[in-house]
Structure 1
Amino acid sequence: MHRKPLLDQLAVYAETHPEEAATIQRFIAFVETRPECFERSLLEGHITGSAWIVDQGGAKVLLTHHRKLDAWLQLGGHADGDPDVLAVALKEAEEESGLNGFEAVTEGIFDLDIHPIPERKGVPEHLHYDVRYVLRATGSTDYVVSEESHDLRWVSLDEVATLTTDASMLRMVEKWRSKIAG
């Protein structure tokens, strides 16, 4: 089954993040009951892959001021049928930043979030089941702003809170802080 690798990752994530049980169970139920969960044509919602991109030292993260959502976010996008969500996150990181050379920092999923995407250009409001991974930029950190962004910026962990009040973004800051402190 093409969904099994993601379901396996979700099971591991559930063991390490019992405090997120409700979100994890919604994710698992969605993936188990929707064979087409990786397709953006599934109008109720679909899987997306995102990258929490850190610099070599892990002190800064690369954020995008997303053009369509008009908010500072991690980079990422639609799976478009690809069940390898880490590969999706890597592809989106490269496409949206112009950076080459990333390494996965953590094994498996770093964070999960389910959030609504507003109606736009005839596409009804729907949910993004966002699977997030930590990627370290291993090459140049000189980014290129793509058409999907108003801007990109390397920011310190403290600066993230000055750019957004999004709970999932602030949660990732705290998760990353505990990871690098541990």
Structure 2
Amino acid sequence: MFFNLKKEIYNYLPFNEQEKVDKEVILNLLETEDNLLSRENKICHFTASSWIVNKDKTKVLMIHHNIYNSWSWTGGHADNEENLLEVSIKEAKEETGLKSISPILEEIYSIEILTVDGHMKNNQYVSSHLHLNVTYLLEADEENPLYIKPDENSGVQWFELKDIEKVSNEENMKVIYRKLNKKLESFCEG
């Protein structure tokens, strides 16, 4: 179990110091923790997120997340699926209503360990924990229809790259979104 995911993370080249440190911690957790692909591990578990851009790579598709009351990226829990690229695409489709989303890169675009404060979900309390998050760079046609997923979000919208930090209410996520945009800029230049 975890062979492919562990290999992907091991081979991933960190973009900055945050990714370097988080990669080391995640690799250590893969050796020491059980059930990292399942929410049964109440301390930490894997999630997959998407940085969905338009064809020109000038806009990012965001959802207005119900729990955090903020515009944010799409994503969700691994729920025992080791192929986190598939998880990111599945979640992106579910949360935006898009029928067609394609990976720009098959490999990991970004990694981060995210803190999740305790909250209520489906009338049950979820304790504070960590998401061992893997992000993928995806592309979609901004002309395609979008639909909300009422149990998770109250809006789906394309934003100019420069506006992402303005529309997010989560200070800790603004740092991540800034990093993702810098990586996108580097990717487009390269």
TM-score by length of 2: 0.88
Q: Which amino acid aligns with 1:128?
A: H
Once the 2 structures are TM-superposed, how far is the Cα of residue 119 of structure 1 from its aligned partner?
0.9
Once the 2 structures are TM-superposed, how far is the Cα of residue 65 of structure 1 from its aligned partner?
1.4
Superposition misfits of 4+ residues, deviation over 4 angstroms: none
Please provide the CA RMSD for this pair.
1.6
CA–CA distance in structure 1, aligned partners of residues 142 and 176 of structure 2? 27
Q: Which residue does 2:48 correspond to in 1?
A: 49
TM-score by length of 1: 0.92
- Other structure's SS at 1:91 match: helix
Once the 2 structures are TM-superposed, how far is the Cα of residue 45 of structure 1 from its aligned partner?
1.3
Q: Which amino acid aligns with 2:178?
A: L
- Given the alignment, which residue of 125, 139, 164 partners 1:160? 164
Deviation sequence 1:129-173 (CA, Å, 0-9, x none): 111001111585321011211211101111112113421111111
Q: Which residue does 1:94 correspond to in 2?
A: 93
Q: Which residue does 2:106 correspond to in 1?
A: 107
Q: Which amino acid aligns with 2:145?
A: D
CA–CA distance in structure 2, aligned partners of residues 35 and 110 of structure 1? 25
Deviation sequence 1:88-141 (CA, Å, 0-9, x none): 001001100110112111231111111111112322101111110011115853
CA–CA distance in structure 2, aligned partners of residues 18 and 178 of structure 1? 13
- Given the alignment, which residue of 169, 186, 189 partners 1:178? 186
5+ residue gaps in structure 1? none
CA–CA distance in structure 2, aligned partners of residues 65 and 109 of structure 1? 24
Would you say the 8 A contact 1:3–1:35 is kept in 2? no
Would you say the 8 A contact 1:102–1:139 is kept in 2? no
> What is the aligned residue count?
180
Report which stretch shifted further, 82-91 or 160-169. Answer: 160-169
Deviation sequence 1:63-84 (CA, Å, 0-9, x none): 1111112222110001111111
Deviation sequence 1:23-78 (CA, Å, 0-9, x none): 11011112222231010121001100111111122111101111112222110001
5+ residue gaps in structure 2? none
- Other structure's SS at 1:109 match: coil
